[in-house]
Amino acid sequence: MSETTTQISPVFDTLSVGDVVAERQLAFTRDSLVRYAGASLDFNPIHYRDDVAASVGLPGVLAHGMLTMGAAAAPVTDWLGSAGFVRDMQVRFTRPIVVDPETGAEVSITATVSALDAEARTVAIDLKVTSDDQTVLGKSKLVVAFA
């Protein structure tokens, strides 16, 4: 017998500033970088070759910026479901994610309500995105609009 889970859509009127609406731990591997490169057509060798990364002064192979940004938004869009949509997203890339060939890289995401606009039915959500206890996306914010 298979078990199904039903996600309950968030309700705008129950949200408060300071609510943590989503948290997620992700693992980036060299394999995930290669898959993303194929999907995005971003085949810059700094994302898969240690020698090229080193030759341009990088500490190692780096995760794609857009992979990091998309991964950071995913917990919020999963939480939001069909209750609304992302109206805006802004991030500042503050530190690259170095993906070790053996251990990969762990990424931690926490999404917290920072502002509510009852008239527009929008919620500003701050993202805390870290890897190796270092912030990798600064000033990261999504604005979601409820239906």
- Domain spans of the chain, in order of start: 17-28+63-146
- The pLDDT value recorded for residue 2 is 45
pTM over 0.85: yes
- Percent of residues, the chain, with pLDDT higher than 90: 93
| CB-based contact 123:144 (threshold 8 Å) | yes
- The matching CATH number, chosen from 3.20.20.80, 3.10.129.10, 1.10.10.10, 2.130.10.10, for 17-28+63-146 is 3.10.129.10
Of the CA atoms within 13 Å of residue 20, those in its CB half-sphere come to: 6
Task: Give the per-residue pLDDT at 1.
Answer: 45
- Tens digit of each residue's pLDDT (9 = 90 or more) over 44-68: 999 999 999 999 999 999 999 999 9
